[in-house]
Amino acid sequence: MIRRSVLSVIVALALPIGIASAQAVDSLPGPAVQLIEGGPRDWFGHTRQAIVAVFGRPDNIGVETVRNQDDSLSIDSILTLHYRAATFVFYAVTALRNDLLAEVTAWDPAYLKRSPLRLGATLSEVRKFFNDASHGSIPHTTYTSSTPLPHTLELWFEHDRLIRLKWEYPID
C-alpha cells in the first residue's frame, strides 16, 4: 500500500515536468524549427554528391559497415566526410543505393554562411533565437523539434560564445 502511494506521488510530481517540457519544445519559433530541421540539408543538399559539389573533395572519408535494422541480411554503411572544420555523416542504404544525411557538425563560419546563428553569437542571443528563458553560463545545450521523428541541434559555447553546431537528422 505504501509503495503504491509513493509511486502515485512520484508520477503526480513527474507529470507536470513532462508537460512543461513538451510545451517548451512546441513553443520554438518558426525560424528555430527551420534551423533545427533543415539547416545544412536546406543550404547544401542532403546527398554526398551535393556536399562534395559545394565543398570539394573531403580531407578524409571514414567508412563503417552496419547491419540494416530492417533487413538483417543487408549490410549498410556509415560514411563520414571530414573537412577542415566540418563533418558530414551519411547513412548509405545498400539495397536502395541511396545515402541519407544523418549528421552535420561545423565549427567554422565558411560552413555556416546561411545560418541565422553565427559562430561567436552570445549565449543570450542564441537563447533569444530559440525563445529560451533559461539563464546562466553553460558549455553545451540541445534543442529538439517536436516532430514524430525528432531532429536535434546541439550547440557548444566557450566563454558564452557559440563555437560549434551539430545537427542530427532522423533516419527511418
**Is 9 among the domain residues?**
no
What kind and span of H or E run contains 16? helix 2-26
pLDDT for the residue numbered 93: 84
pLDDT at residue 30 tops 90: yes
**Is 69 among the domain residues?**
yes
User: Exposed/middle/buried for 24, CB within 10 Å: 0-12, 13-18, 19+?
Assistant: middle
Long-range Cβ contact pairs of 153-156 (< 8 A, separation 24 or more): 153/35, 153/36, 153/39, 155/117, 155/126
pLDDT for the residue numbered 12: 34
Question: Range of 112's domain?
Answer: 28-168
**Is 12 among the domain residues?**
no
Residue type, 31: P
Give the model confidence (pLDDT) of 31-65 as tens digits.
999 999 999 999 999 999 999 999 999 999 999 99
Residues facing residue 168 across a β-bridge: 103, 152
Distance between CA 4 and CA 1 in Å, rounded?
A: 5
User: Exposed/middle/buried for 80, CB within 10 Å: 0-12, 13-18, 19+?
Assistant: middle
pLDDT at residue 114 tops 60: yes
**Is 22 among the domain residues?**
no
Give the model confidence (pLDDT) of 132-146 as tens digits.
999 999 999 999 998
**Is 6 among the domain residues?**
no
Contacts (Cβ under 8 Å, ≥6 apart) of 34: 42
Q: What is the pTM of this model?
A: 0.81
Count structural domains, the chain. Answer: 1
**Is 115 among the domain residues?**
yes
**Is 135 among the domain residues?**
yes
Percent helix, strand, coil in the chain (nearest 5)? 35, 30, 35
Residue type, 152: T
HEC letters along 102-149 = EEEEECCHHHCCCCCCCCCCEHHHHHHHCCCCCCCCCCEEEEECCCCC
Output the average pLDDT for the chain: 84
Give the model confidence (pLDDT) of 145-158 as tens digits.
988 889 999 999 99
pLDDT at residue 74 tops 90: no
